[in-house]
Amino acid sequence: YAIIDTFEAGVVLVGTEVKALRDGKASLVDAYATIDDGEVWLRGLHIPEYGNGSWTNHTPRRTRKLLMHRREIDSLTGKIREGNQTLVPLSMYFNDGRVKVELALAKGKQDYDKRQDIARR
Write down the domain spans for the chain: 2-120
Distance, CA of 104 to CA of 46 (rounded, Å): 18
Question: How far, CA to CA in Å, does 108 sit from each of 2, 32, 59, 67, 102?
Answer: 6, 13, 30, 25, 18
Q: Are strands 39-43 and 64-67 parallel, antiparallel or unpaired?
A: antiparallel
Q: Helix, strand, or coil here: 45? A: coil
Residue-level pLDDT at 67: 92
- pLDDT score of 2 more than 90: no
Average pLDDT, the chain: 83
The pLDDT tens digits of the residues spanning 39-92 come to 989 988 888 877 776 667 776 778 889 999 999 999 888 888 877 788 899 888
Fold adopted by 2-120: Small Protein B; Chain: A; (2.40.280)
